[in-house]
Structure 1
Amino acid sequence: MDLLRFATAGSVDDGKSTLIGRLLYDSKAIFTDQLESVERTSQQRGDEYTNLALLTDGLRAEREQGITIDVAYRYFATPRRKFIIADTPGHIQYTRNMVTGASTADLAIVLVDARKGMVEQSRRHAFIVSLLRVPHLVLAVNKMDLVDWSQEVFDEIEHEFSAFATKLDVPDLTVVPISALHGDNIVSRSPNMPWYEGPSLLHHLEHVHIASDRNLVDVRFPVQYVIRPQSLQHADYRAYAGQVAGGVLKPGDEVMVLPSGFTTRITSIDTAEGPVAEAFAPMSVTIRLEDEIDISRGDLICRPHNQPSVAQNIDAMVCWMAETPLVPGQKLAIKHTTRSARVLVKELQYRLDVNSLHRDDTATQLGLNDVGRVRLRTTVPLLADEYRRNRSTGGFILIDESTNRTVGAGMITSAS
């Protein structure tokens, strides 16, 4: 069975946590004691129904305030597919949490309240989903029961969102009318909306095609760890462990090691279950090579005629996640694949208004949750691709060296 990672996003009170609770409940992924706890808490709060949102809003502050703060990850499976859900917050001050949840997603669900239609946060989340190049986007028009299952309301929201999505890079958009509270169009088609002819939400999640989303052309294998056992019987064993970030690797393939530029061939590929005939993203494997080359953590294995850029000058879109603003001249640490370096912020080219998509060329800094284009200079070369080509080798995080906190997430637009 393959695995689908998806994130939910949307404005406050659009029903993200309720939707996930409903998916878990209707797919029988909840233990009896969990359900009893939720029912008990719902009664204590005075709710007239079992509040399935409590299944994901685990922090006490979240339950007391009725909001989602942290990214909650939940797991469930159906006979067709396994799923990892990231329930991300709707509040504008938690945009950085939403970026975290969506950065590894194959699909994103943006919820819209049918009574309110498109709001500022809907546009913000749709833009971030496209910025992070999440391949599949689902617009879930929730609370259809509160607008009498109106097709006119649904069509109006679908038209407005589709028009906005044309300005973004959204390769695959699906729009579904739902009621998360009552379960309409979640697992099975709803009799309350006979005018809707598309699939239920779970049916779409089970059948959306994600195999072709992986980059199987550009071989990229960042070395994470050099395995060199100390025992006598394995004295000659040397292998390189890591996660395949792109392409397909097979024993016998000619490969190049960067930044040294030496070429060699793969002799074997091992996994925890034993040797394999090929490796592709996102498999974690151990590779043995024909020649003894000096390779260490942070190096990258690729094809001789298909290499990433070896670059110290990086242009990138950065989502800033710290209260202290990003300003030109700032020095930070950067983590890119398995390579770490220090970086200087050379220039802030513009800040992007996430709602109107207009560029502010006069901006002098990026504040909390701002997105802007930044030019960076690294102390050591990065082995990088454009983010649109490979999300693994095109993405990075920025770290404040004094606190060791992640302060920014970046998507490389060009490297030289």
Structure 2
Amino acid sequence: MSEFDIIWHRYNLKQNPYFTEPLTIEGSIVPIETLVGRDKEKEDITTNISLGGGTRFLVIGEAGVGKTSLVNFVRARARKNLFFSPINEIKVQDDWTPTLLVIDVLQNIYSETKSHGIKIQNNNLLKTLEDLFELSRIVEADDINPEAVLSISLSQATRLYEDLVREIINAGGYKAIIIHFNNLDNLDEAENYDKLFNNLRDFFQNKHSIFIFVGSEFIYNIINYRPKVRQIFVNVPIEIGKLSINEMKMLIKKRISYMRIGNRDYIEPHSEEALKLLYTLYDGNARDILNSLSTSVQHLKDRNTPTFIEEVKLKEILFNVANEMLLKKISPNEQKVLNEIIRLKKTTNSELANTLQKQRQHISSYLSKLLDIRAVKVDFIEGTKKYYSPTAEALWLKFKVTEKEIKERRTKELNKIEQVQQSLKKYLG
């Protein structure tokens, strides 16, 4: 087998079934219909959309549980029922001003009208949108300050949006327009919510528009303490939990079945025990589980046969990857801090200083290094306190294989070899 052959072909699969990208309305690796579970959440989002224009609500949950895929799934169904919604979600930018947010929405919708073949009858509106689109393209290509070039006020941008929405509704007989904002937690300072949303009340109250905002579970806590911002989100937030272990099994089975090459029997790369181990480690976080399975296959030494990844093999591979990626880059003191963060799951600088009996400035230095190599992350900020947690990769350090596990695996392998040898003897006489 060539070193450039596709790893997944060994398993009779077209490509990686453990991908972590969200399912999209069009162009996903697998169809959006392969989404698993979430019946209640699907119903909740559908009900909110069914309220029609003027609806604004949050979809919240831990990073990696599948919020974006779920919203895209419901939007895909809504598009088949006379709701206009651009294929792509709009990623929230930390440097947005209110005007730039509206302009990004305009561009997103205008691109969709062109792909749908919707003709804008108002020639002045059409010319203005085309000019705005061209200017935005130049700004992005040349990294120019957009507000200095676009020279359009918030009220003008809002009026353009209202005119465009009216044209689309009239042209296609749509019930409403659905706009999906992703990564609301990209606004890393609480004050940015005030700056952005307090000036956009008129924009978000458009009677023909439904706005869906997707973000982390901490977003609602920030918004809840800002009355003016909270008033924009008129509906109760929809919280997305984690898939059950059986749903995770079903998700992977569906993907593998869809990706098999022709009618060949596929080989599932991992054991059920390996999946359960990861499910426990990550408390059901789908993204971290899938990424770990993908990493384990990519780091198999034997590239010529479809190696089956059982529990001990998984632990061995992932620990070795984390060792190379993290432990070999840090000092003993930094390793002590990392081990303590892994033990505590979430902690602060001061808590680490007290536990390890070190000065806070020393802990800050260690944390800085651990952040640089992606061993830890800032989980959330509460006032002036930063809470740190281990990254998904750092948790692989919990997988150090014991001598007992190695012996047990070797015994199983020897028993298997003996069984195969006996079978061969019978067949060959």
Bucket of the pairwise TM-score, normalised by the shorter protein = under 0.3
Task: Name whichever structure is richer in helix by fraction.
Answer: 2
Larger relative contact order, structure 1 or 2 (CA cutoff 8 Å, min sep 6): 2
| TM, length-normalised to structure 2 | 0.22
TM-score by length of 1: 0.23
Between Structure 1 and Structure 2, whose CA radius of gyration is higher? 2
Q: Which has the higher strand share?
A: 1
